[in-house]
Chain A
Amino acid sequence: MTLTTKDEQEILVDVKNIKKYFPIKGGVLKRTIGHLKAVDDVSFTIRKGETLGIVGESGSGKSTLGRVILRLLEPTDGQVIFNDVDISYLSQRKIRPQREDMQIIFQDPFASLNSKMSVGQLVEEPLIVQGKMSKEERKKRVIEIIEKVGLRADDRQKYPHEFSGGQRQRISIARALVIHPKFVICDEPVSALDVSIQAQVLNLMKDLQDDLGLTYLFIAHDLSVVKHISDRVAVMYLGRFVEIAPKQALYTNALHPYTQALLSSIPVIDLNEESNHKQRKIALTGDLPSPANPPSGCTFRTRCPQAHDRCAIERPELIELETDHFVACHLYSEE
């Protein structure tokens, strides 16, 4: 069983009660009149070599969470322990050695690459910042990684606009991996790509993970993509995890009403009429509430088909219902 072996593996990322609140300013004096709780008390671990997927609708806080883990945004509270070092409050200078082990790949390969730099320069830049290699070594390393992601060594002279979306995402991946990171946050890396290209990039990411022993945090809104690439999956709603489980458990036995609704609303091709996937669609009414003014108690209760009195009063905590399968819902907890 892969799960048990992974259990024994060491933990690479340990996120404890992380919070990120953005102040809302108002009035003439621009005083803080409230907080937008983008990430509100989230805890989880990622083991070495594992891929944790995070799914959620826009505004659920999944991208903010990724940025807080990397300290691209400062956390409001909580801890991020990376590789046994608490990086949550390290100074920018002290965090630098840790940063070499963590990288991020963004959604839009058209916006995340400087159009005035050639591919060679783009991929070499992290090595220059790192300052550990001679010019010769750098050149060798750049060629090595460019070929690894499926581009050609001659492509170094070209500029980003000469490439298609999928190729550009390969450049972003090369740039992220050139300094041998251990941990890569992938923030919607394939959602801007056409399906046939998306498949190429997903396959590449899986191959690279196997080859280089990478650990991924994979953020996306597409549940089938997340299922394909992840070992475990967390579902986020209004800044909190509502369910986290190994992917098989999550996709075959979703416990939280939100996860169930999400899974049932994906349109799927179901040519085998007897297949068990297509239960009845669970229609969710309404939109995601504003994270600046979330409902009391369980934040999902305003859209939940199974909400009851208790949901408005008390916030459900994540509890482990089955091994490794956590859910935050009053349907499964006793008073």
Chain B
Amino acid sequence: MNNQPVLDVSQLKTYFYLGENRVAKAVDNISFSIFPGETVALVGESGSGKSITALSIMQLINKPGRIVDGTITMNDQKLLELKPKQMTNIRGNDIAMIFQEPMTALNPVYTIGSQITEILRKHKKMNKKDAHQEAIELLKVVGIPRPKEILKEYPHQLSGGMRQRVMIAMAISCEPQLLIADEPTTALDVTIQAQILDLMAEMQKKFQMSLLLITHDLGVVYEYTDRVMVMYGGQIVEQAATKELLKLTKHPYTQGLLASLPNLDEDVERLGTIKGTVPPAYSFPHGCRFSSRCPYVMEKCTQSNPELREYDTGHFVRCYLYENGGSIK
């Protein structure tokens, strides 16, 4: 993983201009890299900016939103400088994306077959017959039984798990270097979730893709990812190797998240909580964005926002508590 990153995001800012001079800083100065073959988790609650980060990489931000600053680099190409048509080529060929709700991501009036072959014909310039054959192969790869019949069916005829398998088949059809999966299993039941996550891990190995997995489920993060970035208020607040981050959690927000999970192994009378709720993206508190909910808040925290700094090797934290060798239990 020491070689060149597949994707490099630097100082990305995506703002939404809501009128009345309100600006929602959904993604505010985010930098990270993803290396070949790596699985990186992007974790956060609703409104933390994790999905907007993914959509910004794909350049699928609609008005009133706009990428206002930053660079996104892939294979020495600066993606934000590309023309829309060139970006269309990158999408699908180099970066593919899977969404949470496969029912809304698939077109309900076209058959599964025509939706898969459309991609193959467009991106791989295949003829109709080859594309059809390839589509059958792809459905086999993602473990769909009766692929020939399924190609003739419409999305509503499939179960949620099957639809997500179709989405994965479409995403890997052009063998992208990077797959972004935005809460791919949130709408699925646990036994199906396990099937889909295992399938994604298998596909990743097979095609040597990098995976950016957006999720709120820390159990999924633990079992399937190498590295984690925790987002809060449009910024990364903690970043480390998965085991390191979950074992030696530093940021008070990440600690709060972990404490609030009900545990299968031990019984606790009361769950830990984080007081209050996530502030809206147009009115973050002054200073550290977590200061309004942080149990360790200091005067300094309300005056200026701490930088994301490396405190242990590869473990980055955005918090004043760790300055000058400080710590919390």
Contact = CB atoms under 8 A, between A and B. Distances in A.
Interface of A: 57-58, 164, 166-167, 194-200, 202-203, 206, 221, 223-225, 227-228, 251, 261-263, 265-271, 275, 277, 281, 283-285, 287-288
A79 B193 CA distance: 36
Contacts of A277: 264-265
Contacts of A251: 264
Nearest to B44: A194
Contacts of A206: 269-270
Interface string B255-273: 0111111111101111111
B265 A275 contact: yes
A164 B277 contact: yes
B83 interface: no
A265 B262 contact: no
A95 B314 CA distance: 64
B219 A268 contact: yes
B328 to A, nearest CB: 18
Given A195-B216, A265-B194, A224 B277 contact: no
Contact of A267 (B192, B219, B265, B269): B219
23 contacts: A57-B190, A58-B160, A199-B259, A199-B274, A203-B273, A206-B270, A221-B190, A224-B263, A224-B264, A228-B271, A251-B264, A262-B191, A265-B190, A266-B264, A267-B219, A267-B220, A267-B222, A267-B223, A269-B219, A270-B222, A275-B265, A285-B195, A287-B192
Q: Which of B192, B218, B243, B246 is the most central at the interface, judged by chain A CB atoms within 10 Å of its CB?
A: B192
Nearest to A200: B273
A202 B45 CA distance: 17
Given A196-B260, A284-B195, A266 B271 contact: no
A283 B216 contact: no
B309 to A, nearest CB: 24
Given A199-B273, A268-B222, 19 more contacts: A57-B189, A196-B260, A197-B45, A199-B272, A203-B270, A221-B189, A224-B264, A265-B191, A265-B194, A266-B190, A266-B219, A267-B197, A267-B217, A267-B224, A269-B261, A270-B222, A283-B195, A284-B191, A288-B189
Q: Which 4 A-B pairs have the closest CB atoms?
A: A267-B219, A199-B260, A228-B262, A57-B189
A14 to B, nearest CB: 28
A194 B216 contact: yes
A223 B264 contact: yes
Interface string B24-57: 0000000000000000000001100000000000
Nearest to A167: B277
A221 B190 CA distance: 8
Interface of B: 45-46, 159-162, 189-195, 197-198, 216-220, 222-224, 243, 246-247, 256-265, 267-274, 277-278
A283 B194 contact: yes
Contacts of A263: 264
Contacts of A197: 45, 277
A294 to B, nearest CB: 15
Nearest to B271: A199
Contact of B161 (A167, A198, A261, A287): A287
B18 to A, nearest CB: 16
A196 B257 contact: yes
B246 A269 contact: yes
Contacts of A195: 45, 216, 257, 260-261
A271 B223 CA distance: 11
B162 A287 contact: yes
Nearest to A251: B264
A174 B160 CA distance: 34
Contacts of B217: 267
A251 B195 CA distance: 22
A269 B190 contact: no
Nearest to A206: B270
Nearest to B218: A269
Contact of A271 (B189, B246, B278): B246
B243 A281 contact: no
A265 B188 CA distance: 12
Contacts of B273: 196, 199-200, 203
A265 B193 contact: yes
B67 to A, nearest CB: 26
Contacts of B195: 283-285
Contacts of B274: 196, 199
Contacts of B219: 266-269
A224 B257 contact: no
Contacts of B247: 271
Contacts of A269: 218-219, 222, 246, 258, 261
Contacts of A203: 270-271, 273
